[in-house]
């Protein structure tokens, strides 16, 4: 991971919180989006990769799972909460639950491209999957800048997160075309649950609520 990305993401976490919007910065030349809090975010330029939970929770709560092919709206944010809660049910510590919560956080900036097509997409001549991987690392680094435990353990624990993600997906797949559907939360409710769980788990990780060597 480029040291610049880590420094920028840590700076972003110090500068922005859930309630204080950042100053508007003029975008560099290139493709960018303006996030909910006013950040000009260019997926092809890691120097612009400044993350905050308001942007992530807002975007994920408004994005639909399964490319919208559902009988009832079901957000990526609600899915992410379910993955995190599944890990908790399995006895995983807070740092792994946090990884489960943010496992789809890149979709706040890259959207949810169906997996069969991801390998076909490039951005600025770079494969989408490479950008997605680098951004996920940057987001994890931002989340755990103050937690040496998770910094060393997250790659090993990612396999458990993926198993929980698949477990939840299989449940979703069975229910998504039914009358009741999968989703239970409106976007604003999913955003609130996602943000509240993030605060709880991040606090637990910071205060050492994990096995330091696991």
pLDDT-based confidence at residue 141 (cuts at 50, 70, 90): confident
CB atoms within 10 A of CB 181: 15
The answer to whether residue 134 scores a pLDDT higher than 60 is yes
Query: What integer pLDDT is reported at residue 62 of this predicted model?
Result: 96
Average pLDDT score over residue span 51-65: 94
Candidate from 28-42, 90-104, 134-148 with smallest mean pLDDT = 134-148
What gap in Å lies between CA 51 and CA 142, rounded to an integer? 8
pLDDT-based confidence at residue 207 (cuts at 50, 70, 90): confident
Residues ≥6 apart with Cβ < 8 Å to 187:
61, 62, 73, 75, 77
Model pTM score: 0.78
1.10.3210.10, 1.20.810.10, 3.30.360.10, 1.10.10.60: which CATH number matches 53-206?
Answer: 1.10.3210.10
If we measure between CA atoms, which residue out of 210, 212, 17 comes closest to residue 97? 210
């Amino acid at each position: 991971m480029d040291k610049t990305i880590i420094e920028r993401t840590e700076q972003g976490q110090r500068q922005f919180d859930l309630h204080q919007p950042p100053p508007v910065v003029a975008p560099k030349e290139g493709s960018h989006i303006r996030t909910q809090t006013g950040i000009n975010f260019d997926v092809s330029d890691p120097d612009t990769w400044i993350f905050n939970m308001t942007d992530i929770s807002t975007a994920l709560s408004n994005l639909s799972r399964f490319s919208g092919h559902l009988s009832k709206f079901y957000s990526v944010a609600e899915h992410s909460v379910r993955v995190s809660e599944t890990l908790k049910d399995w006895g995983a510590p807070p740092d792994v639950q946090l990884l489960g919560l943010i496992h789809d956080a890149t979709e706040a900036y890259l959207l949810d491209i169906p997996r069969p097509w991801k390998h076909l997409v490039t951005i600025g001549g770079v494969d989408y999957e490479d950008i997605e991987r680098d951004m996920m690392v940057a987001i994890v680094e931002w989340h755990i800048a103050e937690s040496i435990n998770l910094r060393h353990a997250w790659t090993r624990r990612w396999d458990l997160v993926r198993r929980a993600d698949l477990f939840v997906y299989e449940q979703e797949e069975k229910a998504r075309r039914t009358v009741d559907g999968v989703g239970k939360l409106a976007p604003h409710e999913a955003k609130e649950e996602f943000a509240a769980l993030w605060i709880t788990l991040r606090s637990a990780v910071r205060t050492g609520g994990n096995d330091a060597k696991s």
